[in-house]
A and B are shown apart, each in its own frame.
Chain A
Amino acid sequence: MLNLHGYGMRLIEGALVTVELAALSLIIAVLLGLVTASAKLSKRRLPHLLATLYTTLIRGVPDLVLMMLFFFGGQVLMNDVSDWLYARFGLDLFINIDAFIAGVLTIGLIFGAYMGETFRGAIQAVDKGQVEAATACGMSRALIFRRIRFPLMMRHALPGLSNNWLVLLKTTALVSVIGLSDMVRVATQASKTTLEPFTFMLFVAVIYLLLTSLSEWVIKRLTRKYNAGFTRGRS
């Protein structure tokens, strides 16, 4: 039996932070991805340009660098802003970037770019005739998106989306560098104190494996749902 030297509870709490972080980041990433994909498919030039800039930047810079840039760089920016506010208006306002929120925003921002690419291909793969049929029935754009476009798109998006989710889940390990007490950070501290890194890292690895296996199960069910009506074997 694993001897966790009393770190068990803290590790479980850390695991919860990891799950919350991943889930919230996923929501932001999906929303950002949908916006990015629509912007990239838009005929207007400005949204297209902004979206291209965004995906190029994010996909071209390592996640770890981005995270430190946003967290530490963001804090410096906030300090400058509050200094300026104090000097100019006498406002004594100190804005402290919360590590959890910074983590969620950064990971959401990074994966929004990847989701954008996934969704763009998926939106393009939807049969225009089926959207037209919905328009011809008098459906509003919002209703068409909810009832027709989104479910049809999900079928094409799910493989890429699932892949992004698994990478995102593992990327949360990076937030330990900005001081967030996720599972990895707790385990690192415990390893240093007890000099038993193998035990703690193994524990963390198993938890990640459990989370990804659970994800695979959910993905399989979602795939079945969004593939309803499509004959097996056709991609």
Chain B
Amino acid sequence: MTTMTTLQPSESRPSPVSSEPAEVLLRVEGIKKRFGDTHVLKGISLTARRGDVITLIGSSGSGKSTFLRCLNLLEQPDGGELEIHGQPVHFTTTRHGRVPQDEKRVQWMRSRVAMVFQNFNLWSHMTLLENIIEAPIHVQGYSRAEAINEARCLLAKVGLEERADHYPSQLSGGQQQRGAIARALAMNPDVMLFDEPTSALDPELVGDVLAVMRRLAEEGRTMVLVTHEMDFARDVSTRIMYLNQGEVEEEGPPQQVLDTPRSNRLRQFLSTR
């Protein structure tokens, strides 16, 4: 996909009548999560097909970040099913709660679903380049030379080719986040998760990070993101889900959800933005 006209990937996707819908990369059903007595997630489902950009919105405490973290099992859901590329993750109940049966399977799954964090979380004892080649070498088994080649391309893509040998502490927040996006891309994941990627940035640095993410969306990357940037969400999303108190209150294409909200709460939420 090289054309720049696909700002609304929903319009460019083939209609289900003429051809098959895009392949399902990530499917979760009825995800539940409890912290103590608080039910943070009360059964949320999501299906991400290739090229989907799904944005989760909602006020703080609505469970959107927890849900996102369940998608690559950084948080273990107490109930529900999870499938990546058609491969289910099986859970088993021990006295420590519900845990995945096969740790190896979970590790493989995590390498297919990359995560970009609010606080970047680049490894501070490694240079930017070392950060990016770490997982390709040690998790995926690429040779150092291959990994470095790929990393240099990715650094160019996020506009940091000059910064390869800098440590995270020598980079601005925006540069660190773009570096973190490059690190996630280096795994060539099926799905990328973004957990409020611009919330920790100074306002003037937000634009660069959003520009990188916008380009990824245009390239047809499958993404699930939590963000408060409503204009951005409107532009790039194929679907928006509004979460309230651990439940999906409303979901649909961005225009529908943002311009003609049906629920009062969503209307209220949008008016405070």
Interface on A for B, CB 8 Å cutoff? Answer: 127, 129-130, 132-140, 143, 147-148, 151-152, 155, 226, 228-231
Contacts and interface: CB of A to CB of B under 8 A. Distances in A.
B171 to A, nearest CB: 11
B74 A229 contact: no
Nearest to A228: B125
Interface in B171-221: 180, 183, 187
B125 A133 contact: no
Interface stretch (B48-56, B116-124, B255-263): B116-124
A24 to B, nearest CB: 29
Contacts of B109: 138
29 contacts: A127-B121, A129-B117, A130-B121, A133-B122, A134-B123, A135-B74, A135-B110, A136-B115, A136-B117, A137-B110, A137-B134, A137-B135, A137-B139, A137-B183, A138-B107, A138-B110, A138-B139, A139-B138, A139-B139, A148-B123, A151-B125, A152-B124, A226-B125, A228-B125, A229-B124, A229-B125, A229-B167, A230-B169, A231-B169
Contacts of B138: 139, 143, 147
A33 to B, nearest CB: 21
A155 B135 CA distance: 22
Given A130-B124, A133-B117, A137-B114, A228 B187 contact: no
A126 to B, nearest CB: 10
Contacts of A136: 72, 74, 110, 114-115, 117
Interface string B100-114: 000100011111101
Interface string B76-110: 00000000000000000000000000010001111
Interface of B: 72, 74, 103, 107-112, 114-115, 117, 119, 121-127, 134-135, 138-139, 167-170, 180, 183, 187
A229 B126 CA distance: 7
Contacts of B119: 129
A130 B169 contact: no
Contacts of B125: 151-152, 155, 226, 228-230
B189 to A, nearest CB: 10
Nearest to A155: B125
A127 B117 CA distance: 13
B139 to A, nearest CB: 5
Contact of B169 (A133, A135, A229): A229
Contacts of B134: 137, 147
A134 B138 CA distance: 11
B121 A133 contact: yes
Contacts of B107: 138-140
A155 B123 CA distance: 13
A129 B169 CA distance: 15
Given A136-B72, A137-B114, A229 B127 contact: yes
Contacts of A139: 107, 135, 138-139
What are the nearest 6 A-B pairs in CB distance? A138-B111, A229-B167, A133-B121, A138-B110, A137-B135, A136-B115
A130 B119 CA distance: 9
Contacts of B180: 133
Given A127-B124, A230-B125, 17 more contacts: A127-B121, A132-B117, A133-B115, A133-B122, A133-B180, A134-B123, A136-B74, A137-B114, A137-B187, A138-B108, A138-B109, A138-B187, A139-B107, A139-B138, A228-B125, A229-B124, A229-B125
A152 B123 CA distance: 9
Contact of B135 (A130, A138, A152): A138
Contacts of A130: 121-124
Nearest to A152: B125
A160 to B, nearest CB: 18
Contact of A228 (B108, B110, B117, B167): B167
B123 to A, nearest CB: 5
Contacts of B110: 135-138
B142 to A, nearest CB: 13
Which of A134, A138, A151, A155 is most buried by chain B, counting CB atoms within 10 A of its CB?
Answer: A138
Contacts of B122: 130, 133
